[in-house]
């Protein structure tokens, strides 16, 4: 069984942030970044990138919900809304307000103060996650007692919110649109933490089956999204992503338990690496995307075979981000930037 502490989350968070960096390493070949103009679209890269995206960010939000619920119920963290607001402001809003203007200035197009502020409002590049999670924490705190007593209702609410993301985005109600999209994964983190034993008992012997189901459904989804050009049909097909992301949480959580219980020797061997990635995961997230975007503008990278370009981008961004993150975490100003001690 998973331990009654957060040590197992180190492995899960290391996996989560690694998947985020990996997914972004495929982006130039998927026509999803500005630097994609230097590269030809590659359907295999698009397949792998889309597949990884069904796991990476839902997993990241899931981990946030899991840890939040654990700290609230085992250590009485965030005992008041004021404390939550102050801590999450330091942890999420301060780095966002410092880093987002630089990101917009370097990587995004804007022609007026209004367009600049528009980028800042919706979330600059990958930094949208900070803004979204800040709003998520504040809103969730106000309704936490009710949501945790009525899990069935909370999951139904999560599905409903996921389905209304498009109209929220249409009316530029950001970051509420992103909160609506990821709320269910945050709540599932709470649900898994509270009912870990029951869930692991349910998953016993089913993890591989869930993984294969997820893979088959994704292949059907990917083929469908490529076959139909109508935007309304594509919108309907995209709702399958909710099912895929939920399935991914189940098989990832199940695999984690198998690794911890049956391969403890392996876990102990890689524990220093896991701890290093986990300790610097915040800076790894903040730094890796700008590095990748700069990396993919180099002419020599554009002339590399696609496999080599992606592999080099992934390894380089992981390595450099971790080194820089480690150095920043040793500095007081570096720790204060992300709300550390």
List pLDDT tens digits, range 98-137.
999 999 999 988 888 888 988 888 888 899 999 999 999 9
Query: Is 169 a residue whose pLDDT tops 80?
Result: no
Model's pTM, two decimal places?
0.91
Mean pLDDT of 216-226: 94
Bond prior to 160 in cis (omega within 30° of 0): no
246 Rama class: left (phi>0) / alpha (psi -120 to 50) / beta: alpha
Mean pLDDT of 185-206: 91
The pair phi, psi for residue 273, each rounded to 5°, is: -65, -45
Range of the domain at 100: 63-193
Quote the CA–CA distance of 289 and 56 in Å, as a whole number: 14
Number of domains into which the chain is organized? 1
Is residue 167 situated within a structural domain?
yes
Is residue 98 situated within a structural domain?
yes
Query: Is 203 a residue whose pLDDT tops 80?
Result: yes
127, HSE (Cβ side, Cα atoms, 13 Å): 27
Contact 221, 275 (CB under 8 A): no
Is residue 148 situated within a structural domain?
yes
Is residue 154 situated within a structural domain?
yes
Quote the CA–CA distance of 94 and 279 in Å, as a whole number: 19
Is residue 16 situated within a structural domain?
no
DSSP 6: S
Is residue 263 situated within a structural domain?
no
Quote the CA–CA distance of 176 and 88 in Å, as a whole number: 17
């Amino acid at each position: 069984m998973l331990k009654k502490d957060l040590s197992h989350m180190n492995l899960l968070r290391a996996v989560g942030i690694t998947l985020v960096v990996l997914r972004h390493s495929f982006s130039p070949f998927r026509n999803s970044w500005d630097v994609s103009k230097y590269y030809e679209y590659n359907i295999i890269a698009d397949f792998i990138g889309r597949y990884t995206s069904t796991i990476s960010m839902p997993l990241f939000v899931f981990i946030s919900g899991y840890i939040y619920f654990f700290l609230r119920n085992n250590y009485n963290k965030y005992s008041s809304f004021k404390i939550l607001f102050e801590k999450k402001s330091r942890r999420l809003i301060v780095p966002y307000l410092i880093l987002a203007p630089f990101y917009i200035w370097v990587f995004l197009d804007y022609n007026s103060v209004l367009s600049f502020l528009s980028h800042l409002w919706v979330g600059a590049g990958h930094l949208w996650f900070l803004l979204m999670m800040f709003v998520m924490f504040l809103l969730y705190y106000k309704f936490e007692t009710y949501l945790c007593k009525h899990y069935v209702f909370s999951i139904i609410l999560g599905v409903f919110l996921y389905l209304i993301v498009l109209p929220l985005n249409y009316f530029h109600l950001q970051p509420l649109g992103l909160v609506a999209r990821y709320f269910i994964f945050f709540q599932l983190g709470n649900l898994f933490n509270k009912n870990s034993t029951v869930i692991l008992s349910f998953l016993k012997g089913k993890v591989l089956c869930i993984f294969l189901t997820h893979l088959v459904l994704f292949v059907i989804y990917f083929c469908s999204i490529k076959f139909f050009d109508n935007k309304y049909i594509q919108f309907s097909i995209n709702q399958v992503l909710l099912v895929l992301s939920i399935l991914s949480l189940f098989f990832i959580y199940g695999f984690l338990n198998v690794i911890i219980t049956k391969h403890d020797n392996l876990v102990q061997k890689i524990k220093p690496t896991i701890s290093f990635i986990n300790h610097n995961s915040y800076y790894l997230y903040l730094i890796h995307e700008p590095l990748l975007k700069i990396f993919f503008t180099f002419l020599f990278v554009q002339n590399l075979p696609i496999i080599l370009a992606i592999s080099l981008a992934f390894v380089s961004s992981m390595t450099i981000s971790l080194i820089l993150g480690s150095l920043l975490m040793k500095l007081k100003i570096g720790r204060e930037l992300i709300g550390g001690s």
